[in-house]
């Protein structure tokens, strides 16, 4: 049996816009998100361009302590979910949390955090010392936890 779903809010953080409105305007105007790669050194790669999110400063949206606990993809998720929630104008005090949720998609999460932890471990003395936020930084569905947890 199919159930009804109501989309009440939208959020977006994309290579062509850092809000749902900017994203829609970018789509409508045929804006390309492709630009030179800035997230890592491309010297050994043939491809030098990608569709990265641009002009994103996590401290514009998250306090410094919270931002440190999150991988970049998690920061993106939290910002997009926050926009969607604000756009929905839902009141957490009055809604039934058992009948509300967030749809968030990610192919995989926290690869940068994983790479950093493995590199730190391999260059260390063999004693497994991992950042206590290692697993939370990698959780792919972290964006859906932000309001209804």
What are 77-126's pLDDT values in tens digits? 889 888 988 999 988 889 888 887 777 777 677 888 888 888 888 887 77
Q: Mean pLDDT throughout 49-61?
A: 95
Residue 135 belongs to domain spanning: 20-145
Asked if 14 and 33 touch (Cβ cutoff 8 Å), the reply is yes
Note whether residue 12 is domain-resident. no
Note whether residue 11 is domain-resident. no
Burial of residue 79 (CB within 10 Å: 0-12, 13-18, 19+) is: buried
Domain containing 46 — which CATH number?
3.40.47.10
Note whether residue 9 is domain-resident. no
Is the pLDDT higher at 139 or at 77?
77
What's the confidence (pLDDT) of residue 125? 78
Cβ–Cβ contacts within 10 Å for residue 27, how many? 13
Q: Mean pLDDT throughout 26-55?
A: 95
Q: Mean pLDDT throughout 9-34?
A: 96
What's the confidence (pLDDT) of residue 19? 97
Into how many domains does the chain fold? 1
Give the global pTM. 0.77
Among 17, 8, 12, which residue's Cα sits nearest to residue 143?
A: 12
Range with top average pLDDT, 11-15, 66-70, 80-84, 89-93: 11-15
Tell whether the model's pLDDT for residue 145 goes beyond 70.
no
Note whether residue 4 is domain-resident. no
Q: At what angle do helices 111-122 and 72-88 cross, to 10 degrees?
A: 150
**SS3 call for 49:** strand
Cβ–Cβ contacts within 10 Å for residue 16, how many? 20
What b/e sequence results for 37-54 when a residue is b if at least 16 CB atoms lie within 10 Å of its CB, and e otherwise? eeeeeeeeeeeeeeeebe
Q: Mean pLDDT throughout 53-78?
A: 91
Note whether residue 5 is domain-resident. no
Note whether residue 6 is domain-resident. no
Is the pLDDT higher at 136 or at 54?
54
Note whether residue 1 is domain-resident. no
């Amino acid at each position: 049996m199919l159930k009804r779903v109501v989309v009440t809010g939208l959020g977006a953080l994309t290579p062509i816009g850092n809000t749902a409105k900017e994203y829609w305007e970018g789509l409508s105007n045929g804006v390309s998100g492709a630009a030179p790669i800035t997230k890592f050194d491309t010297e050994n790669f043939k491809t030098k361009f990608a569709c990265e999110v641009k002009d994103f400063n996590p401290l514009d949206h998250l306090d410094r302590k919270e931002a440190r606990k999150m991988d970049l993809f998690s920061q993106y998720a939290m910002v997009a979910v926050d926009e969607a929630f604000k756009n929905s104008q839902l009141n957490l005090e009055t809604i039934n949390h058992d009948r509300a949720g967030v749809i968030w998609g990610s192919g995989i999460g926290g690869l940068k955090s994983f790479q950093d932890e493995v590199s730190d471990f391999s260059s260390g003395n063999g004693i497994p010392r991992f950042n206590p936020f290692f697993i939370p930084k990698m959780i792919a569905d972290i964006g859906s936890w932000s309001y209804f947890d």
